[in-house]
Amino acid sequence: MDDNMMEYNVSKLTSNLYLLRFKDTSTKYFEGLWEIPEGIMYNSYVYTSNEGAIVFDTWKMGLGNEFLEALRNIVDLRDVRYIVVHHMEPDHSGILKTLVEKADPIVLGHPLVKNMAESFYSVSMKFRPVKDGEEIVFDDEKIIFYHTPWLHWPETIMSYITSWKILLTCDAFGSYGVFKEVWADELSGEDYERYLWYAKKYFANVIGIHYEWVVKNLEKLVSRGVTPNLVLPSHGLLLRGDPLDYMYKKYKSWGHGEPEQGKTLLIYTSMYGFVERTVKIIREYFSGLNQDIDMIGFTDSNRPSISDVIGKAFDAENIILVSATYDADLYPLMKHIASLITRKTPRGKKVAIIAQYGWGGKAGKILEEMMSTQGFKVVGVVEFKAGEEERYRDKIIGLIESLKK
């Protein structure tokens, strides 16, 4: 990682709880997949007491020296009694081996963590699995661990510090983006809106495939009496007050797969401009109705972020896909995008498909099968030879109007 891109902060959250945050602006593709020009932050938390310290998660692999330097600002490494592993993905557990070797703590986590850690890091550690609902008392503070599977791996857990009503949620309630602020309620205006977009995009990219587990886990936490005043995720800004209430409502909505009413997203791929002429017809139709439509186009001069596409598609009510046949198949980029939509966004959305071809059409049928077999409602397919969009104008408009039925 570029030294010029390294920055970390240590912030005191309560009388004995600290945030260790690394601001990563050098990672361009989160998980090697999702474009994040906005960067990302890794949050670790340290609870201190007369009995020693508990470290909740660490940072990404490769940041060991920086993490230990930040941690030494708070405690002597020999005083670290426990490490809590909420989730084994290496952006959270990447410094586990280094810290175990320096401090020799007891490692707490889901029963699956032990074998994963030994495999990932060849680490020998004093591991203690925690059951769902198990608690520990540390310097008179009760901390309860809850299993929250598929948010977003099966071994994910959360920690609840009861007296402060603090919930440490790991990936849940996280976001992309690098901010100087610690709390979301310290933002306002465009900065706050930008944070909300990063949070939705992050949810769609990372948790989207498991969205139905969000409600299951939230309902379980409520049934166990977990009513946090503070939510501390492992990425992004921390939540309290109005932003916490808002994000909790959004997570319930996203977890139920609820779309934004009336939101239509058009995604198109165009090699030589023929598809763009079709898109112009659709744009003019919506403009004539004074209705907004979000359009994302992949052309020979424009390559939008696919992570943005999935973020926008997640809560769309209607999706219009416009592409072409390529090598007697669906255009590869559209095939990739459509596959991600079927996996990462809620089923049941209405989809209109428009496809073009040079000498033989294949794309329309392939797209229709891809979407319909995964539970999306394909309202129709219009397919024609490139350059004949005006002859098919009425059919194109009719297809778009069928999204309203």
What average pLDDT does range 143-169 have in this prediction?
97
Q: Which residues does 258 contact at the CB level (< 8 Å), separation at least 6?
A: 315
**Residue 342 pLDDT greater than 60, yes or no:** yes
For the cut 90, the answer to whether the pLDDT of residue 162 exceeds it is yes
CA 121 to chain centre: 25
CATH superfamily of 3-255: Ribonuclease Z/Hydroxyacylglutathione hydrolase-like (3.60.15.10)
> In this predicted structure, what is the pLDDT of residue 246?
98
Q: Which two tokens stand for residue 364?
A: 């329309």
Amino acid (1-letter code) at residue 103? A
CATH (one of 3.30.70.260, 3.40.50.360, 3.40.50.300, 1.10.645.10) for 264-404:
3.40.50.360
The mean pLDDT of the chain is 96
Matching fold, domains 3-255 and 264-404 = no
Q: What is the mean pLDDT of residues 62-91?
A: 97
Q: How far apart are CA 333 and CA 344, in angstroms?
A: 16
Q: Find the mean pLDDT for residues 333-338.
A: 98
pLDDT value of position 6: 63
Residue 80 has pLDDT above 80, yes or no: yes
3-state secondary structure of 334: helix
CA dist 239 to 22, 148, 208, 218, Å? 18, 19, 21, 16
pTM value? 0.95
| Amino acid code (one letter) for 193 | E
Domain boundaries, the chain: 3-255, 264-404
Percent of the chain with pLDDT over 70: 99
Query: Is there a cis peptide before residue 152, judged by omega within 30 degrees of 0?
Result: yes
What does the pLDDT look like over 192-244, one tens digit per residue? 999 999 999 999 999 999 999 999 999 999 999 999 999 999 999 999 999 99
At 297-315, the pLDDT tens digits run 999 999 999 999 999 999 9
pLDDT single digits (tens) 6-65:
699 999 999 999 999 999 999 999 999 999 999 999 999 999 999 999 999 999 999 999
DSSP, collapsed to helix, strand or coil, labels residue 243 as: helix
Q: How far apart are the first and last CA of the chain?
A: 52
CB atoms within 10 A of CB 18: 22
Q: pLDDT digits over 243-290, tens only?
A: 999 999 999 999 999 999 999 999 999 999 999 999 999 999 999 998
What CA–CA distance (Å, rounded) separates 20 from 45? 6
pLDDT at 5: 52
